[in-house]
Amino acid sequence: MEKRAIIVGASSGIGREVALLLLAEGWHIGVAARREESLMELKAMAPGRVEVMNIDVTKVDAGERLLALIEQLGGMDLYFHASGIGKQNRMLTEDIELSTMDTNAVGFTRMIGTAYRYFANRGEGHIAAITSIAGTKGLGPAPAYSATKAMQSTYLQALEQQARQRRLNIRFTDIRPGFVKTALLNDNFPYPMLMRPEAVARDIVRSIHCGRHVRIVDWRYRVLTFVWRLIPNWLWRRFKI
DSSP code for 159: H
- Cβ(172)–Cβ(127) under 8 Å? yes
Based on the residue annotation, tell me whether 155 is a catalytic residue of this protein. no
Q: How many residues does the chain have?
A: 241
The mean predicted confidence, pLDDT, of the chain is: 94
**pLDDT at residue 190, rounded to an integer:** 59
- Cβ(62)–Cβ(110) under 8 Å? yes
Catalytic residue among 145, 155, 191, 221: 145
**pLDDT at residue 189, rounded to an integer:** 64
Alpha helices for 74-134 (secondary structure H): 94-101, 108-122
**pLDDT at residue 32, rounded to an integer:** 97
**pLDDT at residue 187, rounded to an integer:** 58
Round to whole Å and give the CA distance between 195 and 192. 9
- Cβ(51)–Cβ(4) under 8 Å? no
Q: Which residues of the chain have pLDDT under 50?
A: none
Instruction: Give me the CATH code for the 4-236 domain, please.
Output: 3.40.50.720
Is 52 strand, coil or helix?
strand
DSSP lists the bridge partners of residue 171 as: 126
**pLDDT at residue 177, rounded to an integer:** 94
Cβ burial, residue 101 (10 Å; 0-12/13-18/19+): middle
In angstroms and rounded to an integer, the radius of gyration of the C-alpha atoms of the chain is: 17
DSSP code for 107: I
DSSP code for 111: H
pLDDT single digits (tens) 64-107: 999 999 999 999 999 999 999 988 999 999 999 999 999 999 99
Is 128 strand, coil or helix?
strand
**pLDDT at residue 75, rounded to an integer:** 97
Residue 169's φ and ψ, nearest 5 degrees, are -85, 65
- Nearest-CA neighbor of 93 among 139, 58, 144? 144
pTM summary value: 0.94
Kindly give, in sequence order, each residue whose CB lies less than 8 Å from that of residue 193, ignoring residues fewer than 6 positions away: 178, 179, 220, 221
